[in-house]
Amino acid sequence: MPPGYRPMAQPLKIAVLGAECSGKSSLVTALQAHWQARGATVVVAQEMLRQWCDQHKRTPMAHEQKAIAQAQAQLAENTTDADYLLADTSPLMTAIYSDVLFQDPSLYPFALSHQRIYQHTLVAGLDLPWQADGIQRDGPAMRERVDARLREVLQREGVGFSMVYGQGPQRLAGALAVLEPGASTVPQTRSKWRWLCDKCSDADCEHRLFSDLQATAMR
């Protein structure tokens, strides 16, 4: 049996969350390739918001958020025949954006109920530089606001999550350290995020934290 192969039963469901331009999709692609190379069946629940924006050539308005969240949930909930399900975001991110952009918290109950179907929730850190990407991205300041609200909600609601930092193979190794313990030596902050300072959603601050963790592991 190839290393890392997981016999198909019910899929191991993993949600990859994060603010805009935090490397979620790249991490999902890397995890998919990693497990497929080991003979596993991997299904990716693609980001419905991106598909919606591509189709409509604009970002959704407040009253359109609910349908996007529901469609995102259905992708994950309807997957059964796979070893792994990788959700490239979840309805919780739609709820976060509805809250931050439109001051509408109404999607939280649905999104949080759905979030509990995942065995793992990974949150992509802000140590990657922000880059413009058409109509979907609102800028570095919004990225930090969304990141802070995401962590606040996860912690408040008791949803366990793991932070993932680094670039390319380093970020993949960090994710595998959580999903396949022992597969990586990259240190992680596990489950409940501990607020280290009042600027913990700042990208520079996060980069220093990650660098300090690496330096400690190498001693």
93-133 residue pLDDT tens: 999 999 999 999 999 999 999 999 999 999 999 987 777 66
Contact 5, 36 (CB under 8 A): no
- Compute how many other C-beta atoms are within 10 angstroms of the C-beta atom of residue 129: 9
For the cut 60, the answer to whether the pLDDT of residue 207 exceeds it is: no
pTM: 0.78
Residues 6+ apart with CB under 8 A from 169: none
Among 5-9, 53-57, 208-212, 215-219, where is mean pLDDT lowest?
215-219
Q: Where are the beta strands (DSSP E) in 140-205?
A: 162-164
Four-CA torsion 146, 87, 130, 144, nearest 10 degrees: 10
pLDDT tens per residue across span 134-156: 545 566 888 899 999 999 999 99
User: Residues 161-206: pLDDT tens digits?
Assistant: 999 999 889 999 999 999 998 654 444 433 333 333 333 444 444 4
State how far the Cα of 112 lies from the Cα of 70, in Å rounded to an integer.
12
Provide the pLDDT confidence category of residue 159 given band limits of 50, 70 and 90: very high
Residue type, 108: Y
pLDDT value at position 49?
87
With a pLDDT cut of 70, the percent of the chain lying above it is 74
Mark 13-35 as b/e (b = at least 16 C-beta within 10 Å).
bbbbbbbbbbbbbbbbebbbebb
In this prediction, residue 23 carries a pLDDT of: 87
- 116, burial (CB in 10 Å: exposed 0-12, middle 13-18, buried 19+): exposed
What are the CA-CA distances from residue 206 to residues 38, 62, 169, 219 (Å)? 32, 31, 19, 20
